[in-house]
Amino acid sequence: MEARIDPMTHDVTRKSLKHIVAAGKALADSTLPQSTQELVKIRASQINGCSGCLDMHTKEAAAAGETALRLHLVAAWREATVFTEAERAALELTEQGTRIADASGGISDEAWANAAKHYDEEQLSALVFAIAVINTFNRINVMAQRPAGDYVVGQY
């Protein structure tokens, strides 16, 4: 499979991507655990069918010490016993935030309250932003049909 387009070869998209990447890098300074950030990126990418982001974030998570078992079970997080209550709350928020068009009313008050039990306001803000940024990258990569499999940890 070949990508339809490489956004890095065009001035306007290269400049735009630079800003989106910079915005995502700001999350590294947040107190939201890195493992939670990667789980969120993986789950949103699964929902959106973004193979490029799945390639990247599963490899990044594994390199950061995430176990293969947990990576394999992200898609079935509700039934899996390997995630904390905080991670479950983040994954629920991710699903509802990614599937806004499918949900009446967007994020439920219950999902928000559950996340707020586990994360302070700064972390909740970072969580919302992480969900938004990965959904942006998912949409770019899915439309461009960026292939997966050749990502190297730390590449970007």
**Please, what are the domains in the chain?**
32-144 (1.20.1290.10)
Q: Do residues 132 and 97 touch, judged by C-beta distance below 8 A?
A: yes
Which single residue is written with the structure tokens 């960026």? 146
In the DSSP assignment, the letter for residue 72 is H
| Token output for 32 | 């939201």
The pLDDT of residue 7: 66
The pLDDT of residue 18: 87
| Token output for 33 | 């655990």
Q: Computed from CA positions of residues 106, 112, 115, 119, in that sequence, does the dihedral angle turn out positive or negative?
A: positive
Confidence of residue 103 (pLDDT cuts 50, 70, 90): confident
- Taking only the tens place, the pLDDT of each residue in 105-132 is 789 999 999 999 999 999 999 999 999 9
Q: Which residue has the higher pLDDT, 147 or 1?
A: 147
